[in-house]
Amino acid sequence: GAGVSQTPSNKVTEKGKYVELRCDPISGHTALYWYRQSLGQGPEFLIYFQGTGAADDSGLPNDRFFAVRPEGSVSTLKIQRTERGDSAVYLCASSLSPSLSTDTQYFGPGTRLTVL
């Protein structure tokens, strides 16, 4: 079946602009996760949704970052007033349930964000 998809695959923007990154999880997966991966680093947790609600947003670096999942499926990560330090690959993952002991996270291909 279809995996996790993310759009766009690449996004180039200017400092100070607003961007939206989209994630389509695997159908039926209730848990959705956003990570950020900077060059030479592992993925860094940002936020996790269970259904429509953000169950853990402790990884969002500041209030410029916000994410929504209004219907419990597609999620959008929103970044306001982008800074050059926001440049990274933004990864989305989904799992059938939030119990990662029994269920597996499936990752998407990522969106490469470049802030000039």
Partner 1 sequence: AQSVSQHNHHVILSEAASLELGCNYSYGGTVNLFWYVQYPGQHLQLLLKYFSGDPLVKGIKGFEAEFIKSKFSFNLRKPSVQWSDTAEYFCAVNGYSSASKIIFGSGTRLSIRP
Choice from 13, 20, 22, 44 touching partner 1 (CB under 8 A) = 44
- 20 contacts: CB under 8 Å, gap ≥ 6: 76, 77, 78, 79
Is 17:105 a contact under the CB 8 Å cutoff? no
3-state secondary structure of 58: coil
Does residue 4 interact with partner 1 by CB under 8 A?
yes
Does residue 99 interact with partner 1 by CB under 8 A?
yes
Does residue 54 interact with partner 1 by CB under 8 A?
no
Choice from 48, 73, 94, 111 touching partner 1 (CB under 8 A) = 48
Choice from 22, 51, 59, 76 touching partner 1 (CB under 8 A) = 59
Q: How far is the CB of 17 from partner 1 (least distance, A)?
A: 28
- Judged by CB under 8 A, the number of residues near partner 1 is 31
Give just the sign of the alpha carbon dihedral 37, 42, 46, 52. Answer: positive
